[in-house]
Structure 1
Amino acid sequence: MRRQFTIPLSALGLIVFLGVVVTFDYITLLFDPVSDNAIEFEVTEVDQATGLPVLSHPQLIPRIIHQTWKNESIPEQWKAAQESCTLKHPDFEYKLWTDESSRKFIAENYPWFLDTYDSYAFTIMRADVIRYFVLEHYGGIYIDLDEGCQSRLDPLLTYPAWVRKADPTGVSNSVMGSSPHHPFFLKLMLELKNYNFNWHVPYITVMYATGPLFVSVIWKQFKRWATSDAEQVWVLMPAEPTGAYFNDLHGSSWHEDDAKWIMYLGVHWILFTVLGFVLAAVVGITSYLVVRRVYFPRSGLKYKYVHYGE
């Protein structure tokens, strides 16, 4: 009779194995300290003649600031943040990528990706991917419009590529820097097609297909084989307000109602983890009972009813 359990148990084992393989990078993000290659805030000397910071290491990233918006009319609530970056960096080239200029850039330089670019269900997904392409192509520093610059960014130009630590885990795509043609940003570009799934929940679709969770997973994969100093991706760590490069205004203009529910799950993750284990136990017990009933039916058993008092 034990052989009759072989098929269902093998199938269950295969499902569990495939589940672990598919979710391995997502699961291990929870336990990654993200402290490898950490960047801390650095106070630099200022050249008295030029008024610019003196870099202690060679500059690897070009002096370019990239930002994105649907058109050239920046909303009032983000103009101060934008100007805090441009005014502090008059020696940097500034590129604002609009919906029109972004699509034109992809069509002219990466036509193989244009169909995927046009297929995205949400505009924010195109705003996500254009930052990876322009950083790979030109190099520079990408900054979300709701990120103000608190300090000069010159020390960040001495790293070949960097991203910022996300809360609570993984890395973010809100600010990033890269030298031209860095292999990490090339990998981001090439993997986008493989992650282009519509999960029919806006927040999850954006996060997994083009957003921070996508970047975090590719970053985890990239760390396994990046060996040379030029291939390393550094991580900008959180800093106190008095020692930070950026001021995060938390715009999140693309969030919809589903994002609030997912944020609620994040706040009450212990409760929902327990409920998840309970649900898994119920599914497991139910599966066992079904298998038992299928392979060990009680046909042929006869029950004798005894009526007392007759």
Structure 2
Amino acid sequence: MRTHHRIATCFMIGFILCGTALTLSLIYLRWHIRDLWECIHTYATFDALDLDLFTYPPTYADTKLAAQSPQLAPKILHQIMLHEEHHNTTLSKYTTARQSCTSLHPTWDHKLWTNNNATIFVVTNYPHILPHYLSYPQPIQRTNILRYLLLHHFGGVYLDADITCRAPLGPLLHTPFLTPAAHPAGINNAFILSRAQHPFLTSLIARIPSRNLPWPLPYVENMLSTGCMFFSNAWMAYMRRRDGLDSQDRVFVLADERGRLGAHLLRGRTVTPLFEHGGASSWHSWDADLIRFLDVAGKPLMISAAACLAAIAGVGCLVVMRRKRGLVRRRGRKGADVEKKRGGSKTRVM
């Protein structure tokens, strides 16, 4: 009885400790779980979403309407080049791409943001974001946040440094907010056009403090705290309340004349009607290579792992069955020996 009582006590203590550890883990990870749930929701509902599309090349009707519409976004081209210690991202590397955009927009205001003027801008205009801006461990996180702040404050067009312009962007300036779609869901932040003080960017900036969380992988931390998934999740939340929005507060997604998003995707090295994307991804670390490898080799690896697990399980079952059979045989022999001994003792008594 004492043994059973000890076992029950140990079981209860273990159950309480495991429950406490699980509860504390869930409390600590509750915001991480929230962000992952938002990603799942974005992927699950994107295809069924009724998007506000901006077609390019424009139809005749679109061109006529654009000529009659007021210019909403200013003629400002923003590009960012923050210093990165571990990557060869010098300004000269992107000279050709940058010149292609400046030559197509000679009357525009071209702003190049570096560490010095970028930090001064954040200190002056968004002091409540400054602690987060300075705390990010990766330069790409500061680059991501900076583009949102610049467009919110000034408006205009943001372009990644490795984007080559193939067409003038002036005809797009009558849209309040424009960006390409991302693959396989969401929107991409490599090219963003926006009017100043757009409410979507206001709501996105309000999310910055609560999404500044540590993650075990640098790639995941960037994507969820400042990058495309952060951008897409904020957009999905904004889209859920778009029914009451004014026309100048809408967010448009680039599409071709048939309404297809793929023609304007800025994914890797690609050419679209508006841009040529170099696909530099200079911020990618070892974990990004691992994720790309798993994306390519995911199915073969899963099949191999499943086969190995099945083989291990099969061998384990055989071992257990053999042991059970051996145990039954030994018990049978012991029982027979006991019966023989009992029979012998009875014979002696008689």
TM-score interval for Structure 1 and Structure 2 normalised by the shorter chain: 0.7 to 0.9
2: CA distance between counterparts of 1:90 and 1:259?
37
2: CA distance between counterparts of 1:88 and 1:172?
23
- CA 1:221 to 1:257, structure 2 compared with 1: closer, same or farther past 3 Å? same
Alignment equivalent of 1:251, drawn from 265, 274, 280: 280
1:235 and 2:253 aligned: yes
Letter in structure 1 aligned against 2:38: D
When structure 1 is superposed on structure 2, of 226-235 and 264-273 the one drifting more is 264-273
Q: Is the 8 A contact 1:41 1:243 kept in 2?
A: no
Aligned to 1:307: 333
Residue 102 of structure 1 aligns to a residue whose secondary structure is helix
Alignment equivalent of 1:82, drawn from 98, 103, 116: 98
2: CA distance between counterparts of 1:151 and 1:58?
21
Aligned to 1:267: 296
Deviation of 1:267 (Å): 2.9
Deviation of 1:113 (Å): 1.4
2: CA distance between counterparts of 1:97 and 1:22?
30
Aligned to 2:76: 64
Alignment equivalent of 1:187, drawn from 203, 217, 238: 203
Letter in structure 2 aligned against 1:62: P
Deviation of 1:22 (Å): 5.3
Residue 263 of structure 2 aligns to a residue whose secondary structure is coil
* 1:179-221 deviation line (CA, Å, top 9, x unaligned): 0100111111110111001213211111111011100110111
1:37 and 2:55 aligned: no
* 1:231-280 deviation line (CA, Å, top 9, x unaligned): 2111123427886111101011111111100112233455677899x7xx
1: CA distance between counterparts of 2:116 and 2:50?
38
When structure 1 is superposed on structure 2, of 140-149 and 223-232 the one drifting more is 223-232
1: CA distance between counterparts of 2:206 and 2:139?
20
Aligned to 1:154: 170
Percent identity at matched positions?
30
- CA 1:155 to 1:262, structure 2 compared with 1: closer, same or farther past 3 Å? same
Q: Is the 8 A contact 2:178 2:254 kept in 1?
A: yes
CA RMSD of aligned residues (A): 3.3
1: CA distance between counterparts of 2:302 and 2:211?
26
Aligned to 1:134: 150
Residue 290 of structure 2 aligns to a residue whose secondary structure is helix
Deviation of 1:69 (Å): 0.3
What runs of 5+ residues in structure 2 fail to find an aligned partner? 1-15, 61-65, 84-88, 256-261, 265-269, 311-329, 338-350
1: CA distance between counterparts of 2:286 and 2:271?
34
2: CA distance between counterparts of 1:167 and 1:126?
23
Residue 112 of structure 1 aligns to a residue whose secondary structure is coil
Aligned to 1:294: none
Aligned to 2:319: none
Residue 193 of structure 2 aligns to a residue whose secondary structure is strand
Q: Describe how 1:287-302 pairs up with structure 2 within 5 A.
A: none
- CA 1:230 to 1:271, structure 2 compared with 1: closer, same or farther past 3 Å? farther
Letter in structure 2 aligned against 1:235: V
Larger radius of gyration: 2
1: CA distance between counterparts of 2:51 and 2:303?
31
Q: TM-score, normalised by structure 1?
A: 0.76
1: CA distance between counterparts of 2:171 and 2:293?
37
Q: Is the 8 A contact 1:44 1:55 kept in 2?
A: no
Q: Is the 8 A contact 1:135 1:141 kept in 2?
A: yes
- CA 1:239 to 1:155, structure 2 compared with 1: closer, same or farther past 3 Å? farther
2: CA distance between counterparts of 1:249 and 1:186?
30
Q: Is the 8 A contact 2:81 2:91 kept in 1?
A: no
* 1:53-112 deviation line (CA, Å, top 9, x unaligned): x835321111110000026x9533311110111100011111111111111001011111
Aligned to 1:118: 134
Task: Name the one with the larger helix percent.
Answer: 2
Q: Is the 8 A contact 1:66 1:94 kept in 2?
A: yes
Deviation of 1:38 (Å): 1.8
Alignment equivalent of 1:28, drawn from 38, 41, 46: 41
Q: TM-score, normalised by structure 2?
A: 0.68
